[in-house]
Amino acid sequence: MLDLSNVNTFYGKSHILHNFELSIEPGTIHAILGRNGVGKTTLLSCILGLTDRSDGTMSFNGRDIISTATHERARAGISIVPQGRQIFPDFSIKENILMGGFAHPDGKRQVPDIVSELFPYLIDNMSRPGGLLSGGQQQQLAIARALAAAPKVLLMDEPTEGIQPNIVEQIENTIIRLNSEFGLTILLVEQNIKFARRAAKNYTIIEKGCPVDGGLCRDLTDNTIHKYLSV
């Protein structure tokens, strides 16, 4: 579904991703792992076309999108739940969700039916300002906003970071449900190795802007974790 071949990405003169290779199987969760500052978030930005410059080949559903604009990639079916959630604090829950509809392939701006099943609190509080929500509720809102674009691939950047512990498991289970019940392909940047192992089929470890290890999560060993991920 999503394949990167020999992709290089730059911010100004800084070369962040180097000859990057990645292949995402449709209908799976693929975990992106690595220490802080190795290029994980940049990888997601590159896929969305948000870096200053990228070259190489990036194929999405058989189409090379390396030169297409960000809004075209979004309309093609790539959506993101960004690190830090980035909701609009003065907008209501409903307004925040509808913002995701600008990227819907048909231009529909509506609250997806799936939101009522996944996040009943949001449905019951549509007029509440996003800035008054807890961290976990804001993460639910960020996911709902991304789903309003009807994505084929969902990019998720540290979705359990900064969330109260009693809500983390709910967010984790929601991510698994999005994949297992609704068939959504997910590219998951995650520091929680235990969750990555539980949720994802495949993994890729990044170091200094390069993929250095990868495979099936069931084959991810403690030695590999210690080598590439321990601080």
pLDDT at 230 (0 to 100): 83
Q: Is residue 147 part of a domain?
A: no
Q: Is residue 160 part of a domain?
A: yes
Q: Is residue 209 part of a domain?
A: yes
Enclosing domain of residue 213:
2-86+152-228
Spatial neighbors of 109 by CB under 8 A, at least 6 apart, are: 98, 101, 102, 148
Q: Is residue 67 part of a domain?
A: yes
pLDDT at 141 (0 to 100): 97
Indicate which CATH number applies to the domain containing 211. Answer: 3.40.50.300
Interstrand relation of 202-207 and 29-33 (parallel, antiparallel or unpaired): parallel
**Average pLDDT, rounded, for the chain:** 94
| 178-198 confidence digits (pLDDT tens) | 999 999 999 999 999 999 999
pLDDT confidence bin for 165, thresholds 50/70/90: confident
Give the chain's length.
231
| 69-84 confidence digits (pLDDT tens) | 999 999 999 999 999 8
Residue 231 above 70 pLDDT? no
pLDDT at 18 (0 to 100): 97
- What residue type is assigned to position 117 of the chain? E
Q: Is residue 221 part of a domain?
A: yes
Q: Is residue 92 part of a domain?
A: no
Spatial neighbors of 127 by CB under 8 A, at least 6 apart, are: 92, 93, 94
Q: Is residue 179 part of a domain?
A: yes
The number of beta carbons lying within 10 Å of the beta carbon of residue 216 is 10
Number of separate domains in the chain: 1
Q: Is residue 31 part of a domain?
A: yes
Match 């100004």 to its residue by tokens.
12
| 91-101 confidence digits (pLDDT tens) | 999 999 999 98
| 202-216 confidence digits (pLDDT tens) | 999 999 999 999 999
pLDDT confidence bin for 108, thresholds 50/70/90: confident
